[in-house]
Chains A and B, each alone.
Chain A
Amino acid sequence: MPIRTVLALGVFLPAMVAAVVFALARSARGRAMPGAWGGAIALPAAFLLGRLSSTGWRWPSFPPTDSTDWLVYAAPVAGLLGLLAAVWEMPRAAAWVKRVAVSGALVALLVRPLAQHTWTPGHTVAWIAAATIGIALLWWALDIWTRKAPGPATAFWLLVIGSAGAGVLVFGHSARDGQSAGALTAGLGAAWVVSLLFRRRGVLARGAVPVLALLLPGLWLSGHLFASVSLVQIALLAVAPVLAALTTRGPLSRGPAGRVALVRALAVLLPVCIAAGLAFQAWNAIAPGNYEEYGL
């Protein structure tokens, strides 16, 4: 596939569509985070555009025979959860129940073929439990981070995390998931540009959080379970938003703005750069056989 086609369909188109949605997202009267519903529509749209354009615009069967195709159905579901979050502030306990239930359902669907044919019941339960807790924590971290630091910088750092994740997937021999992550990241880029151009804050708060919390780790898990992405790389990618969220609270959030920004930058850059570096190193270490164009 010519690289310009990949970029056009996998980056430019999703970014443009997301940018239009983010730009159109209007403030609702009396709401603390105006336009919070934008992310709930823009990001699933960007993801689906990237995914479907790379697969001949074929919608997977329902239920999918390939468990990784559940992410295609997870995108609109996450969008609906985002719309709900944009208009309704759930009680804390209910929010945690929602995070755990939805994360657990997604993980269970992804690992189902392995649970049926390869894993022992104990291994399955442990795996689902651990991944569910991880995704729920990531969800919580994203929620805090986007609310406490609603400026354009948050969108930028999420763009960095998304880009690193896409790179990890591509180097981990999951090109399709890498392209899907790239399209989602393009949507994050659109959010960053819109927040800069329109001086809008909280572009990614609330509405975008469920989408990012489900699709990003969903793609990373797919890369680990069925391709060559290592657990270490996933853990590093997932810890970046958690560390960034921690910089919005306590002593790390106090002090000169420049220092806070620097700490947050390090909190994101260190783990994602290590993750991307490990992925590239693993890819480069494979026995000879280079091909310039990514494809058969």
Chain B
Amino acid sequence: MKSRFMLVGFVALLGLGITLALPQRAPAAPAPTGPSGPATAPGTGPYQLDTTHSSVIYRIRHNDVSYFYGRFNNITGAIDYDAAKPAAGSVQLTIETASVDSKNTKRDDDLRSPSFFNAVQFPEITFKSTSAKKVSADTVDVTGDLNLHGVTKSVMLRVKRTGALTSQSGRQLVGFETTFTIKRSDYGITYMLDRGLGDEVTVTVSIEARR
């Protein structure tokens, strides 16, 4: 009798331990969306950018031979996102100019100098949306003011929602990505123009925001 009781207790403890060790799934959480997945509604309102999981990468033609990629490491911002009415949302991003990173310290110093970004004079690159237009379920054309090197120009970004979910702790996450091309000469960055460095710069911004 006593041994049976101990055996049952042991099995119960074992079962409890196995249950606790299993990876947890978010209870009653909406499934992550993909391009063709079911729409979820993480809710409306402002999201703060998760700087650790957001990226800004640029690509520029080098010597007319290859493309060179670099990045900016510090990006902050906020998104006002309405899943039901994405065109009513807004976004404001700030990139720290001095956080440019081309994998080469000396080159990074050159990039921060007056030859290129002049990070001392223009410490931030900003984008502030002015309007948005829904293109499809997950895509919005966002128009806004891009301020780079002291010059502000209106640009249109095709922004794709890459995912959304509510975490186990109740935090809501949403992701967006956009790729666009600008001419650096339009923003007064003209050093080495047509002399080894292209004029067009393709920028990819991928952000994860949470609230």
Contacts and interface: CB of A to CB of B under 8 A. Distances in A.
A275 interface: no
B117 to A, nearest CB: 10
A227 B188 contact: no
Contact of A55 (B111, B122, B151, B193): B193
A226 B121 contact: yes
Interface residues of B, number: 34
A224 to B, nearest CB: 10
A289 B107 contact: yes
Contacts of A60: 188, 190
Contacts of B188: 60-61, 64-66, 69
A65 B122 CA distance: 10
Contacts of B115: 173-177
Given A56-B185, A227-B113, A296-B197, A286 B191 contact: no
A188 B140 CA distance: 57
B186 to A, nearest CB: 10
Nearest to A68: B114
A175 B107 contact: no
A223 B115 CA distance: 10
Contacts of B197: 295-296
Contacts of B121: 66-68, 113-114, 226
A29 interface: no
B102 A283 contact: no
Nearest to B199: A56
B210 interface: no
A287 B105 CA distance: 7
A58 B186 CA distance: 10
A65 B68 contact: no
B63 to A, nearest CB: 8
Given A55-B191, A56-B185, A66 B118 contact: yes
A173 B116 CA distance: 11
Contact of A54 (B60, B68, B195): B195
Interface in A1-37: 1-2, 5
B192 A54 contact: yes
Interface in B170-208: 185, 188, 190-197, 199
A55 B193 CA distance: 6
Interface string B85-108: 000000000000000001111110
A227 to B, nearest CB: 4
Contact of A66 (B105, B106, B150, B194): B150
Q: Is the interface of B mostly helix, strand, loop or mixed?
A: loop
Contacts of A1: 192, 195-196
B62 interface: yes
Interface in A258-296: 283, 286-291, 295-296
Contact of A228 (B68, B109, B118, B199): B109
A225 to B, nearest CB: 7
Contact of B105 (A177, A222, A227, A289): A289
A24 B158 CA distance: 59
Contacts of B199: 56
B161 interface: no
Interface in B145-182: 149-151
A289 B106 CA distance: 7
A125 B151 CA distance: 27
A65 B193 contact: no
A55 B106 contact: no
Nearest to B190: A55
Nearest to A2: B196
Given A54-B192, A65-B150, A295-B197, A288 B105 contact: yes
Contacts of B111: 296
Given A56-B195, A66-B149, A296-B197, A222 B114 contact: yes
Contact of B193 (A56, A225, A226, A289): A56
Of the candidates B68, B190, B194, the one having the most CB atoms from chain A within 10 angstroms of its own CB is B190
A29 to B, nearest CB: 45
Contact of B114 (A58, A226, A287, A290): A226
A289 B190 contact: no
27 contacts: A1-B195, A2-B196, A5-B195, A55-B191, A55-B193, A56-B190, A56-B194, A56-B195, A66-B188, A68-B118, A173-B113, A175-B110, A175-B113, A177-B114, A226-B113, A226-B120, A226-B121, A227-B109, A286-B105, A289-B104, A289-B105, A289-B106, A289-B107, A290-B106, A295-B62, A296-B110, A296-B196
Given A58-B190, A65-B150, A289-B104, 9 more contacts: A2-B196, A61-B188, A66-B114, A66-B118, A176-B114, A227-B109, A228-B113, A283-B106, A296-B102
